[in-house]
Amino acid sequence: MKLIKNAANRLVPSEVNGQKQIPFQGIGKYKPDGRKASPPIKSCIDYPSNGNKVVKNLKDALKKCGIKDGMTISTHHHLRDGDTLTNYLFDVIHSLGIKNIRWFPSASFPIHEHLIQYLEDGTIHHIEGSMNGPLGKFVSEGKMKGIGVLRSHGGRYQAIQDGEVHIDIAVIAAPTADPFGNANGVYGKSACGGLGFALADSQYADKVIVVTDNLVPFPCIPWQILGNNVDYVVEVESLGDPSKIVSGTTEITKSPDRLLIAEYIAEFMDAAGIMKEGFSFQAGAGGTSLAFIPFLKEKMKSRGVKARFVRGGSTKYLVELLEEGLTDYILDGQTFDLEGVRSMRENPNHIMTSPFVSYNYHGKGNIASMVDAAILGATEVDINFNANVVTHSDGYLLHGIGGWQNCLFSKCTILAVPSFRDRIPIIVDEVTTLCGPGELIDVIITERGIAINPKRKDLINAVKKSSLPIRSIKDIQKEVYEICGGKPQKPKLNKNKVVAIVKWVDGTVLDSIYKVEN
């Protein structure tokens, strides 16, 4: 495999799974021309005029879609770790004897460990989408036939829209749908919130199947997915395990160290002048990037400051802000708990967004760059503020990119990370895998201090008089190396064997992930 050095000084393949690739050229440097991909023209002649597109089962629907070897099949992660539908989908595909499928999920979860057998027997050729937990381990050990492609949520939309990924069949899990194919995620026993991740697939795929466990008579309102884009509707008994689709209530971490980081985040946003009337921020779903919200809320209240909008990952903590009048809107990318689902259903100011409006880099702007502060996690950060979010320091691929890369374009990108996990230093000399260039990362907040990117002189000046523990990133790294017993060894990676690539938001290749040698 031929590897070339890209603008970030990382070696990347020029061809992946037979498709030519463009190496990363720098932020904002690559600007494609040409026209977007377009789905085939359809005619009402071919669809029942009574609007009933229900077929008897998924196998039937796949056959009617003309499923064959080598096709690209897409699914979505609205059902998260409760997604038994995708596992069932591949059981059916396997039973049809189909091979070499390119699976194109918007994300994968540990429950998809079930699919390893199909990666092994050739039903699935490779995955383009996140490869989490067990799937990531499988890929890292070089066992997948093709090369994995990791994209951000925005990058996924971009790839579909730009024609990099042509979806043959999209299978959309719908907690509620009507026979015409209109669908939403806010009602039904498998309610998951918004279905925004499936938007591009419904627009661009050749064939679209909606699968639901709550079929209602037309019209299904709200119609987050339009039936006019749908070919077939399948009714099943269950889409998955509701308790793993959304959590009943999202609990904030009890870890005192994470809470300390969360407290620093809120204090930083206040001291830096980010938290002001009409501001906006993006929160995450777990750990520290969720835990800072209650601290920020207290500060907002005591200063009488209100946000114009907040972005999530919505949870009951964002819902509380909305219901207490501390934000005008929630612009919701995905919904993590029952309170989030309820709010989206009931509150017109709790808006479902799709990666098109939030993140797509090849559009006429997106929300991500308008957000005042995004609070994100990372697996590693290096002394030049470059960050990794997909592999661990031992080289194993364990996480997807999610909206992480897209959020880096916010006005102030804050990475909230512990300075080390057990004995694993998080601040390293050079990230194992580059997912986010340092020039977009402004602040690193750890329990041992806060490092501000030297490029952000404005932020450095703004917090100068605060009592926050501002330190240089190298200073924090030095202390952590002392605690952990020196600089860590490099993991053994086979640099001749690329197992996956990381795309940048513009479709260029930012870095390669290599096979881990034992």
Our finding on whether 183 is near another protein (CB under 8 A) is no
> 3-class DSSP state for residue 382?
strand
Query: From residue 476 to residue 495, what is the string marking binding to another protein with x (rule CB under 8 A)?
Result: ---x---xxxx-xx-xx---
The stretch among 42-50, 322-330, 352-360, 421-429 that binds another protein (CB under 8 A) is 421-429
Give the nearer residue to another protein in terms of CB position, either 347 or 466.
466
CB of 20 to another protein, least distance (A): 34
Nearer to another protein, 176 or 477 (CB): 477
> Please, which residue, 241 or 257, has the CB nearer to another protein?
257
Q: Which of 227, 395, 402, 436 binds another protein (CB under 8 A)?
A: 395
Give, for 124, the enclosing helix (H) or strand (E): strand 124-127
Distances in Å between the Cα of 381 and the Cα atoms of 53, 464, 508 are 50, 23, 21
Minimum distance between the CB of residue 243 and another protein, rounded to whole angstroms?
22
- Decide if residue 175 touches another protein (CB under 8 A): no
Q: State which H helix or E strand residue 387 sits in.
A: strand 387-388
Q: Which is nearer to another protein, 224 or 419 (CB)?
A: 419
Residues facing residue 315 across a β-bridge: none
Cα 152 from Cα 406, distance rounded (Å): 7
Phi-psi region of 77 (alpha: psi -120 to 50; beta: other; left: phi over 0): alpha
**464 near another protein, judged by CB under 8 A:** no
Per-residue mark of binding to another protein, 53-72 (x: CB under 8 A): --------------------
Min dist. Cβ of residue 471 to another protein (A): 13
Binding-site member from 40, 256, 325, 348 for another protein (CB under 8 A)? 256
Nearest to 412 by CA among 388, 440, 434, 387: 440
Residue from 56, 217, 422, 465 that binds another protein (CB under 8 A)? 422
Residue number with CB closer to another protein (164 or 263) = 263
Choice from 29, 308, 423, 457 touching another protein (CB under 8 A): 423
Residue (of 451, 358, 353, 470) closest to 409 by Cα position: 358
Find the binding residues for another protein in span 316-335 (CB under 8 A). Answer: none
Q: What is the spatial distance between Cα 309 and Cα 327, in angstroms, rounded to a whole number?
A: 6
Q: Figure out which of the listed residues 448, 471, 503, 515 binds another protein, where binding follows CB under 8 A.
A: 448
Rounded Cα–Cα distance for residues 505 and 229 (Å): 26
> DSSP string of 210-251?
EEES-B-SSP-SS-SB-GGG-SEEEE-S-SB-HHHHSBSSPP
Site for another protein in 190-209 (CB under 8 A): none
DSSP state of 391: B
Residues 6+ apart with CB under 8 A from 43: none
CB of 494 to another protein, least distance (A): 13
Q: How would you class 34 by CB atoms within 10 Å of its CB: exposed for 0-12, middle for 13-18, buried for 19 or more?
A: exposed
Kindly state the number of chain residues that form the binding site for another protein, as judged by CB under 8 A.
Answer: 23
Residue number with CB closer to another protein (128 or 447): 447
Q: What is the 3-state secondary structure (H, E, C) of 452-489?
A: ECCCCHHHHHHCCCCCCCECCHHHHHHHHHHHHCCCCC
Q: Write b or e for each residue in 96-113: b if 16 or more Cβ atoms lie within 10 A of its Cβ, otherwise e.
A: eebbebbbbbbbbbebbb
424 binds another protein (CB under 8 A): yes
By CB under 8 A, is residue 465 in contact with another protein? Answer: no
Q: How far is the CB of 271 from another protein (least distance, A)?
A: 13
CB-nearer residue toward another protein: 241 or 394: 394
- Reported in sequence order, the residue ranges of 254-306 that DSSP labels E, i.e. its strands, are 279-282
Provide the b/e sequence for 44-79 (b: ≥16 CB within 10 Å): eeebeeebebbbeebbebbeebebeeebbbbbbbbb
SS3 163: coil
Which residues share a beta bridge with 376?
Answer: 415
Q: Which one of 84, 393, 410, 477 is in contact with another protein (CB under 8 A)?
A: 393
For another protein, the closer CB: 50 or 518: 518
d(Cα 74, Cα 81) in Å, to the nearest integer? Answer: 17
Q: Of 492 and 495, which CB lies nearer to another protein in the complex structure?
A: 492
Q: How far is the CB of 130 from another protein (least distance, A)?
A: 23
Q: How far is the CB of 392 from another protein (least distance, A)?
A: 10
241, 394, 429, 439: residue in contact with another protein (rule CB under 8 A): 394
Q: For another protein, which residue of 447, 498, 502, 513 counts as binding (CB under 8 A)?
A: 447
Candidates 413, 403, 313, 410; CA nearest to 359 is: 403
Q: How far apart are CA 474 and CA 488, in angstroms?
A: 15
For residue 467, state whether it binds another protein (rule: CB under 8 A). Answer: yes
Q: Is the peptide bond before 219 cis (omega within 30 degrees of 0)?
A: yes
- Contacts (Cβ under 8 Å, ≥6 apart) of 351: 329, 330, 331, 332
Q: How far is the CB of 138 from another protein (least distance, A)?
A: 18
Which residues 260-279 are close enough to bind another protein by CB under 8 A?
A: 260
Residue 259 interacts with another protein (CB under 8 A): yes or no: yes
Is the Cβ of residue 18 or residue 486 nearer to another protein in the bound state? 486
Interface with another protein, residue 257, by CB under 8 A:
yes
302 lines the binding site for another protein (CB under 8 A): no
Q: Minimum CB separation from another protein for residue 483, in Å? A: 6
**Given the complex with another protein, which of 7 and 484 has the nearer CB atom?**
484
Q: Which residues bind another protein (CB under 8 A)?
A: 256-257, 259-260, 393-395, 421-424, 447-448, 467, 479, 483-486, 488-489, 491-492
